[in-house]
Amino acid sequence: MPNDQPLENLEALLYQLKQRDIPCQKIENEPHIRLVTRLEDQEGSLHVRWQAAEEIIQLVHIMPLTIPKKHMEKMLILLNRINLTLPVMGLAINEDNGMVMHRFSVFLDRDKTISFEMIYALIGLSIRLTKEIYPKLQKSMTAAAESGFSDLFDSLRDRSG
């Protein structure tokens, strides 16, 4: 049965997620939990990392999009511009493998705990934002690569005023 006690560690978070039948798994030898998400017909992956030493919890929602090295520089500029339009900035690209993600962090309370309700709300926010961004980003990236990115930068400039 779920309870309202503050969460003190990753195991307590995992327990609360499982009590609510939220599909998740603890990553072995790592301080994070993975939740599988659906992004249209693709599978996404939301990682919740409990970083006790830094007193933060990091949410990293990996999208099923990979940026080729040849487009990396322009896509980084594009994502920076898109970030400015989001309620919670955090779009990024892992430059090593080209994976696109939405990433943000929340601080633990002074007693190094956090309420489950807060984490649950942040998980929901991450999923909602990613589901809204993903199809637009996927479509834009395809069109941008075909046009040499000029059309996409022009449309972003038009929308930002």
Q: What is the pLDDT of residues 26-68, one digit of tens each?
A: 999 999 999 988 877 878 899 999 999 999 999 999 988 888 8
Among 108, 4, 13, 96, smallest CA distance to 51 is for 108
- What kind and span of H or E run contains 122? helix 116-147
Report whether 124 contacts 20 (CB < 8 A).
no
**What per-residue confidence (pLDDT) applies to 134?**
83
Structure tokens at 155: 């449309």
Return the residue matching tokens 């599978």: 43
| 3-class state of residue 44 by DSSP | strand
Q: Is the pLDDT of residue 4 over 80?
A: no
Phi, psi of 21 (to 5 degrees): 60, 35
**What per-residue confidence (pLDDT) applies to 160?**
44
Q: Where are the domains of the chain?
A: 10-160
**What per-residue confidence (pLDDT) applies to 10?**
94
Per DSSP bridges, beta strands 25-26 and 56-66 are unpaired
User: How far apart, in whole angstroms, are the C-alpha atoms of residue 9 and residue 142?
Assistant: 41
Band of pLDDT at residue 77, cut at 50, 70 and 90 = confident
Q: What percentage of residues in the chain have a pLDDT greater than 90?
A: 44
pTM: 0.79
- Please, what CATH class does the domain formed by 10-160 belong to? alpha beta
Q: Is the pLDDT of residue 145 over 80?
A: no
